[in-house]
Amino acid sequence: MGTIVERPRGDGTTAFMAKIILKQKGKVAHRESKTFDRRPAASAWIDKREKELAQPGALDRVKVDDPPLKDVIATYIADSLKEAGRTKGQVLASIQEDEIADLHCSAIGSPQLVDFARRLARTREASTVGNYLSHLSEVFTVARPAWGYPLDTRAIDDARIVAKRLGLIGRSKARERRPTIEELETLMTFFAGRKATAAPMTKLTAFAIFSTRRQEEITRITWADLDEEHSRVLVRDMKNPTEKTGNDVWCDLPPEALAIIQTMPRGKGAIFPYKPDTIGLAFREACALKEIEDLRFHDLRHEGISRLFELGWNIPHVAAVSGHRSWQNLKRYTHIRQRADKYAGWKWHTIVAPGKEKAEE
């Protein structure tokens, strides 16, 4: 017997979840649900689905070959030899909480996927919605050939085309936020006053700027990855649009960045043995306490790359530091003209790397 449950949505509308639970010998043998905007549609789906499940052998086929999407995602995560990155893991976990995850594979077509994109677009930017569909597409690509689950890759391809045409997905807007010297002075002074046992945010902030490294990349660098003689470091699992795991890239270290590394305690593990979330939280809290608006730790990478262009470096030279494979992504900086180094004589050079004088460019 099917039931319909009303659910209020964040936008003030009501969703009608149709639920079917079938029992055999007193135990639940199958359950599934689907959400509709109108109660009559939910009731019609229950009638249609119950008739389908009443056919000989239908229940056995559903149990074996047509699991709900949330179970397919769980199988994808469990069977993958590559550990999902933090963002991908969060996205897949979030999808498992959405109503689309309760649908069985055979019930998911492009209309359901477009509706999923619409729900996401209510609270997320177009670029984020695109990332959700991209990660979900990977699950669809693997599901049929690997496990025989009836997820249609054409459905999600069509849904991405429609979502793009409707403006539900799109490219992220390039951030142009750069910290001012005054803002950095405020942050560095605040970080310098923290407990000695806390993560050295003065060093981490300065290193992020001068190395142009991302938050997670900083914490993955080990002493074994450092080529001190040639002033470079092996950045493991560097972020890449098509591949992350195993994407290891040698990146040059500007002298200011190398000087900071040389002040860290030598060992066999990570040079900066801190968790990315700890660094991010400390930076956000400092900005909030000091009323510095709209500044993120990742903006320090943009600041560092911009600075290199301001020093008169060309695209290949900058790419050797930033790790960009495609120079196309660095063309957004070509409007920057050479000017004086705003970090020349910066007092924090000698504070974060005492005894290491700032090298000339």
Split at pLDDT 50, 70, 90, the class of 272 is very high
pLDDT at residue 67, rounded to an integer: 86
Host H or E run for residue 313: none
Q: Which residue has the higher pLDDT, 121 or 77?
A: 121
How many CB atoms are located within 10 Å of the residue 357 CB? 10
Beta bridge partners of 270: 222
Round the average pLDDT of the chain to a whole number and report it. 87
How far apart CA 96 and CA 94 sit, in angstroms, is 5
Q: 């004086």: which residue's tokens?
A: 340
How far apart CA 280 and CA 260 sit, in angstroms, is 19
Q: Read off the pLDDT of residues 219-254 as tens digits, 9 standing for 90 and up.
A: 999 999 999 999 999 998 887 654 555 578 999 999
* Domain ranges across the chain: 1-65, 81-173, 181-352
Antiparallel, parallel or unpaired: β 226-227 and 27-36:
unpaired
How far apart CA 133 and CA 345 sit, in angstroms, is 47
Antiparallel, parallel or unpaired: β 14-24 and 27-36:
antiparallel
What topology does CATH give the domain 181-352? hpI Integrase; Chain A (1.10.443)
The answer on pLDDT for 109 being more than 70 is: yes
Is 336 in a helix, a strand, or coil? coil
- HSE-CB of 350 using CA atoms within 13 angstroms: 6
Q: Which of 297, 305, 194, 298 is nearest to 257 (CA)?
A: 305
The answer on pLDDT for 358 being more than 50 is: no
Q: Read off the pLDDT of residues 293-343 as tens digits, 9 standing for 90 and up.
A: 999 999 999 999 999 999 999 999 999 999 988 777 788 887 788 788 889
* Correct CATH for 1-65 of 3.30.70, 3.40.50, 3.30.160, 3.30.1480: 3.30.160
How far apart CA 103 and CA 96 sit, in angstroms, is 11
Contacts of 334 (CB under 8 A, 6+ apart): 309, 315
